Homo-oligomer: A and B are copies of this chain.
């Protein structure tokens, strides 16, 4: 190793050591072992422009092992990204751009929020798919406008998580040749040597997935890493895994190779010994000018490369003006003019009943025709979730231009890959599965919310109404679960017309993900066009909740429902009307949107004076007291479901208009009918 390389690598190491020491917490071990590979990658290969972290054709780099965050922050500072040294000194402190784990957009050059293991690995697969698709859509002979690599440093822990197995299998199937992962194999995890629980042959496993496996190499030998990355770049038909053997906490005389160096500061004494061992006479946070000068070449290099690309893009704009315009639109994330023009007349009140999953499928196809970036798929349930975009092509090994992805039975990777596509840009991704399987993909849904990604998560078969598949497939706790996630908008439309509005909101929402909950079973279309129906327009969905219907006599009670149960509430309200009791029916498809409305609007929908209230929702009633108050009745499910036809399950579990009617009379102090 020449002396500049060594100086640069030790600069990375000591910035990590010093920052962790100052913070009294953090993970010094991984940065110390992985610094050489990170240095080689960033110094010799990574195509990025620190002056413009948004350059669309930059290489993507994800630190999947997010606990090694200081390695990334050090790289960002040294290569000239907007990451002042002062922030590194504020590592893990309130308000800094250097939290314990990297957070997307918090600082220039952070491509993904990582930390929960395996997520970054799968995000990278999503980014590589996005790159492949955009290249397929837009590149033309002589114009490789989209042509970049996706790199990641992944750890033993990433490799143990199932989500990375799922994503790796899919990457192998699609032969994502521009995906290159450096596996920091240090053989140490928190409980000790990984041999206690992780004796598999990772290289053989990845070969089985169809990956190109390089190594194991000495991951701290810069020339070995250099050669391995070159070999990986030359392999264009398969994703590459470079197995890098490293020593966690390298340089620490007493702690290198030990579990304790993973997640604890070295301590003053050991820092001193490590300085001696690595020949580092400097004060904390000192950066040798020679190292800085070397790293900062990235600035000029990046500017030059982006400039070359921009010149090429100009030629492309002249040669292919229509494509160039659409590329720009896709990358901007803007929706085209009139994107929703086909939605207004999609459903008529006179149409026969239709499941909201079916209605959603029709909406999606109308959107897919006009929104080019709209791309996604299901976890092997497309025929059931109704999410196939007809005539839009399947993404496959052969077809690099399609819009329909086949995720396989891999819900967890599906979510994380969708996040990766959203992070990459140029794609508005959606995923689909049954609501019960939200449980398999909670981590990526949460990260989409935390990161503020426009990802649309479609969950069909949204209640016990799915019927015969039984309690293993019937969601109960999932609706409150979704509602408790910050920055996630959950929408459970009541019919086809509300489904149209829900989809519009999902597409328009750029600041975070949206979950759409849809029925398996058919539901009548609320025929709002007939004035005598007394039904308010579906545009009320935009406010989260709205007065859907009200008896002509002054209302004495409010019935509040979401999704399929709105029809039960309506039926009960009409039964009450026949008994001369005035009721108001409120459709509340999205709590989040409703709570964002002005108090005055909310009070107009749920007047404080109207204290008698019943909610009905085929889910855990947790949280409904917010709307029904102390004396209200929440009709829901506090038990698991059952296997039987959906209407039988509803009947047996008390999700019926008669029950609502009886409870209403009871609340009003009138004797019930039953």
Contacts and interface: CB of A to CB of B under 8 A. Distances in A.
Interface string A153-195: 0001110111111100110110000000000000001111010
A162 B160 contact: no
B476 A406 contact: no
Contact of A101 (B115, B164, B473): B473
Interface in A117-170: 117, 156-158, 160-166, 169-170
A207 B210 contact: no
Given A191-B383, A486-B640, A644-B92, A160 B409 contact: yes
A172 B190 contact: no
B471 A99 contact: yes
Contact of A172 (B93, B199, B480, B630): B199
A407 B190 CA distance: 11
A101 B623 contact: no
Interface string A461-498: 00000011111110011001101111100000000000
B165 A380 contact: no
A85 interface: no
A481 to B, nearest CB: 5
Interface residues of A, number: 112
A173 B115 CA distance: 26
A398 to B, nearest CB: 11
A172 to B, nearest CB: 6
Interface string A81-120: 0000000000011111001110100000000011111000
Contact of A99 (B446, B477, B643): B643
Given A162-B413, A172-B199, A622-B622, A115 B473 contact: yes
A632 to B, nearest CB: 10
Given A115-B473, A170-B197, A630-B630, A468 B92 contact: yes
B160 A166 contact: yes
A214 interface: no
A666 interface: no
A198 B169 CA distance: 7
Interface stretch (A242-250, A310-318, A436-444): A436-444
A189 B485 contact: no
A440 B439 contact: no
A481 B478 CA distance: 8
A308 B200 CA distance: 39
A409 B160 CA distance: 6
A207 B204 contact: yes
A103 B191 contact: no
Interface in A390-439: 394, 396, 406-410, 412-413, 436-437, 439
Given A94-B643, A103-B470, A486-B637, 13 more contacts: A92-B470, A92-B644, A93-B648, A114-B472, A115-B470, A162-B412, A191-B380, A194-B408, A196-B406, A439-B442, A484-B622, A486-B638, A622-B622
19 contacts: A93-B644, A99-B642, A100-B469, A157-B409, A158-B409, A161-B440, A162-B164, A165-B165, A173-B196, A173-B199, A189-B380, A192-B406, A196-B394, A440-B443, A481-B484, A486-B638, A486-B639, A486-B640, A622-B622
**4 smallest beta-carbon distances between A and B, as pairs:** A162-B162, A99-B643, A477-B484, A115-B472
